[in-house]
Amino acid sequence: MTSAQQLVRSQRDLLLKWTLDHPAPLLRWLRDAEVLSSAHYLSLLERSPSNGVAQALEIVCATEEGSRGFLQVLREVQDYYGRDLQVWVETHCRDERDSKPAPAPVRAEEKKSKSPIAKLFKGKSRGFTLTTEVNAKEELKPSRSVKLANIRVPISAHKTTLLKRTEQLKCYSEGEGVASNSASHIEIRYTDLFVTEDDDLVDSSQHEYFDLASRRARIYVHQDCQRIRPCHLLAPQGTSGRPPKRVKVKGIAGIGKSVAVQRLVYEWAIGKNMREFTCMFDLRFRELNLIEAPLSLLELLGERFRYLKAALPDLFASPSSLLFILDGLDEFKFPLDWRGPDKNIDVASQVSVSELMVALIKGSLLPEASVILTTRPSTQAPKRFFQRCCVVLGFEEDQVKEYTTKFYKDREVAEKVYTYIVNNDNLFVLSFIPLYCYIICTAMAEFFTPGHPDVGDLKSLELNPPRTVSEVYFCYLFTAVKHHALRGSAERGTPRSEVLSLAKQQLTNLGRLAYENLLQKKIMFSRADLESFGVTPADLQSTFLCQILQPLREEGEMFSFFHLTVQEHLAALYCAINLFSQEDIIQALDFWCFGIPPPSSTAAPLQNTDFSTDKLESLQMFTRFFMGMLRARLAGQLDGLVTGFVEGAGGVPARLGLWFQDQFKGKKLKNQSALNLLHCLMEFHTEETTGMAAPEIRSLNLFKMKLSVVDCAAMHYVLQFSPHALQELNLGYSNIGNRGLNRLGPILHRCESL
């Protein structure tokens, strides 16, 4: 009798041929069955598909036990592969306990559709031709219901498609930058998030960053907070033991909601989580924005997942086995009527896409199906429609270290970057937001890469890393500009001013787009919008714009900055290079911080001041970035972008010092406004200005402000310049935690009343 080891060795070439196009399921199941070690598994994912499978076969062939494990796994994953492998498995790996019918092979090919809905998902969905002819002698005796047999082939096609779409984490950098210095496979790069039950104690009307920072500070105090893994969002809860049918997951942009959803889809498609669901449908609201005509759920899903079209009636016959993931409600442009009466609609009823989504979320359509909705905190999706509400809080300190280690291939670089992040309170607090962590790691790569040739203008990069949030973002932007502007056209030692001058027009146009739309709270742009600001969509793939703007769909009908803070930073950069006098700067700060309309001015940023002053909180991160970019301009770091000097530039720090004095001395500031001014001073990071402003701060009332470590760092930076003791520092119910207390420690003894 042929041993398993002999069989696999003799058939190795055929097995390689059948599995090399899509090795992910085979490799993952081999790892989980402990046929491959975790170290081997991760190393194989970094290889080409053919090399990965070949090396895996080499490993399993080494022992009889490994070969037996391989054959058992092959039975489990055969549905992901073609008919030839399935027949081979039935012939050589028979198991009397399971005589499943082998499905027909699935061959992916593009199908053309004239439907207007199909155009919306062009490139996102692949059609499949299902070849069902099987020789009679090879036909297997079915052991499952006809209905399940009918959907088994299209479900296999669906899983294969989802795996190919979700196995890589999107990277915004190209070329010699991050892409060459990090791994992007989701199994390698993904880092677990901190997800917990939601509460209603935080006011979501303020800027999302402050809301999250406040909640984060509270979480550090409450160690008994329940943590929920994304794959357990639908786990039974409470004494009822029943799983929730509708789950809302909220979190700020960049906190990791979409990546967590991507991992969830990947885990279901590879057969490792959410196995109670026969089918999972993932829909993105940003794509649904482009559907104008009424349609039914059958039509929507039939075009989004064309290879499932024939199977949808059978799938809808068992709605409890269906899971819908609706990602990014905050990006949906259509109004949602949560208060209207439930309409009597079914999966074939044609209604607006807005009505369709409301019915699905509320449960008036397919109430037995499960729905996971992701959204930002500012979006109102009433909690009464959900049996579970969760909030994503990003990383904890251990996850920041894990992410940094995974980000860099060079462990020495990873350790240096992580140490620097931990020792810099501003960066550390930002790093628990996954997208900020990505930006920080991208920027830091420029400073800590071994043997980096760039000296001169940037000097020794490791000796001069960024200190403030503004500097980190500008470092990210400059890195992107340099890698593209100098590609094949200049030496890497080119001065900063020359690099910036090469991208001057693009950065100016991009900044004006960012600023004018920030005032309107607009974050999504059409092709016409971009062109009206001189930004050419065709340049997205050939310039640094690919790291700044992203198409919301593959066709590129709509675009957005890849994160809200990137838009805020570019808007601040635009303003910093287009204000030319001390008076312009003061008028701008009055407008952005307090809603005071500027008198007539020739400065471009002050020409369009159509802004609702009741939304001033939404400009707080922008004003911080502006102060940081203004400092960069005064220091000559923006030379190449600016067309002239600031009038009386040498006197700007003193003039700003007087302005800050007036705010602290002459106004009754709201708590959040006072705190934001402290952050602005920290971003400007100029001793003369802070030294003038700090003595005017007699008291700070931050009662119930839920302060974060970065808030404490800002207070410490400013108050250290005050020559006298504070009359009062009210930190009651601020839950600053031990790290915040440590940061404030040096100044607490100087408070008369604490």
pLDDT band for position 736 (50/70/90)? low
Average pLDDT over residues 150-165: 90
Residues 231 and 333 both lie in one domain: yes
Q: Indicate the pTM of the whole model.
A: 0.74
Instruction: Report whether 708 contacts 216 (CB < 8 A).
Output: yes
Residues 367 and 421 both lie in one domain: no
Residue ending a domain, among 358, 392, 426, is: 392
Cross-strand pairs, 180? none
pLDDT digits (tens, 9 = 90+) for 488-520: 554 556 788 888 998 899 999 999 999 998 888
Q: Which of 236-245, 297-306, 698-707 has the highest mean pLDDT?
A: 297-306
**What gap in Å lies between CA 279 and CA 668, rounded to an integer?**
57
Q: How many residues does the chain have?
A: 754
Average pLDDT over residues 48-73: 93
653 occurs within a structural domain: no
Average pLDDT over residues 620-642: 93
- The residue with greater pLDDT, 218 or 487, is 487
- The residue with greater pLDDT, 96 or 70, is 70
- Cα–Cα separations (whole angstroms), residue 278 to 74, 300, 429, 535: 21, 19, 41, 45
Residues 387 and 401 both lie in one domain: no
563 occurs within a structural domain: no
Residue ending a domain, among 441, 475, 502, is: 502
- The number of CA neighbours under 13 Å toward the Cβ of 469 is 30
Biggest CA-to-CA distance, the chain = 94
Residues 331 and 430 both lie in one domain: no
Lowest mean pLDDT among 54-58, 269-273, 303-307, 486-490: 486-490
**What gap in Å lies between CA 636 and CA 469, rounded to an integer?**
18
734 occurs within a structural domain: no
**What gap in Å lies between CA 160 and CA 80, rounded to an integer?**
6
Residues 294 and 253 both lie in one domain: yes
Cross-strand pairs, 387? none
pLDDT band for position 176 (50/70/90)? very low
Residues 327 and 349 both lie in one domain: yes
722 occurs within a structural domain: no
Chain mean position to CA 99: 43
pLDDT band for position 309 (50/70/90)? very high
Between strands 279-284 and 728-730, the pairing is unpaired
pLDDT digits (tens, 9 = 90+) for 344-356: 899 999 999 999 9
Cross-strand pairs, 751? 726
pLDDT digits (tens, 9 = 90+) for 143-153: 334 356 678 88
318 occurs within a structural domain: yes
Residues 27 and 61 both lie in one domain: yes
Is the pLDDT at 581 greater than 80, yes or no?
yes
Residues 384 and 411 both lie in one domain: no
> Rg for the chain (alpha carbons), in Å?
29
27 occurs within a structural domain: yes
pLDDT digits (tens, 9 = 90+) for 435-454: 888 888 888 876 776 655 44
Q: What is the mean pLDDT of the chain?
A: 80
378 occurs within a structural domain: yes
Instruction: Report whether 202 contacts 239 (CB < 8 A).
Output: no
Average pLDDT over residues 259-286: 93
Q: What integer pLDDT is reported at residue 144 of this predicted model? A: 37
**What gap in Å lies between CA 683 and CA 384, rounded to an integer?**
42
Task: Tokens for 682, please give them.
Answer: 């920290």
Residue ending a domain, among 502, 524, 539, is: 502
Average pLDDT over residues 416-425: 85
Is the pLDDT at 124 greater than 80, yes or no?
no
Average pLDDT over residues 14-41: 93
CATH, residue 350: 3.40.50
pLDDT band for position 543 (50/70/90)? low
Q: Which domain holds residue 94?
A: 1-102
pLDDT digits (tens, 9 = 90+) for 644-684: 778 878 899 999 999 999 999 877 888 888 989 999 999 99
Residues 413 and 366 both lie in one domain: no
Lowest mean pLDDT among 285-289, 368-372, 488-492, 677-681: 488-492
Q: What integer pLDDT is reported at residue 439 of this predicted model? A: 85
Residues 368 and 412 both lie in one domain: no
- H/E/C letters for each residue in 229-250? CHHHCCCCECCCCECCCEEEEE
Q: Which of 199-213, 335-349, 476-490, 734-748 has the highest mean pLDDT?
A: 335-349
**What gap in Å lies between CA 226 and CA 237, rounded to an integer?**
12
Measured between its terminal Cα atoms, the distance across the chain in Å is: 83
712 occurs within a structural domain: no
Residues 41 and 84 both lie in one domain: yes
Is the pLDDT at 210 greater than 50, yes or no?
no
**What gap in Å lies between CA 227 and CA 200, rounded to an integer?**
17
Q: How many domains does the chain have?
A: 3
Residues 87 and 197 both lie in one domain: no
The one-letter amino acid code at 584 reads D
**What gap in Å lies between CA 219 and CA 196, rounded to an integer?**
10
Is the pLDDT at 725 greater than 90, yes or no?
no
**Which stretches within 384-540 are classed as H helix?**
397-407, 411-423, 425-431, 434-448, 469-485, 496-502, 504-519, 527-532
Q: What integer pLDDT is reported at residue 343 of this predicted model? A: 84
